[in-house]
Amino acid sequence: MKKLALAIAVTGAMAAHMTHADPAAAPMVTQVPGLARAAYGGTPPPGTALADPGEWRAAPVISRHLALLCDLSELEVLHLGADLHRRAVFAARDGWAGRWLAP
């Protein structure tokens, strides 16, 4: 697999919603696949040292789920290639068509 050097800049507005406390965000939890949903909780808590990976047990806790809603307005991508650098910007106001920029 070839590795790429990319820099990505995102412009937009973001809002955080605690799904257990925000009725509008609560349905988002059901859209998270089962195994991923199980990771929102568990024992022991995140960051606890384990002697064996099998010591962790999934135990979903809805209060640990946070939905980040992002309203993107622009995305800028810079590829740092060995032979050529490329830079492009994609903006909502342009229908996300994209245009090249000088790197």
Spell 4-26 as b/e; 16+ CB within 10 A means b: eeeeeeeeeeeeebebeeeeebb
Digits of tens for pLDDT over the chain (103 positions)?
A: 778 899 999 999 988 888 777 777 777 777 888 777 777 778 888 889 999 989 988 887 777 777 888 899 999 999 999 889 999 999 999 999 999 999 9
In the predicted model, what is the mean pLDDT of the chain?
Answer: 87
The per-residue pLDDT for range 1-28, each reduced to its tens digit, is 778 899 999 999 988 888 777 777 777 7
Return the domain boundaries, the chain.
Answer: 6-101
The residue with tokens 């047990």 is 57
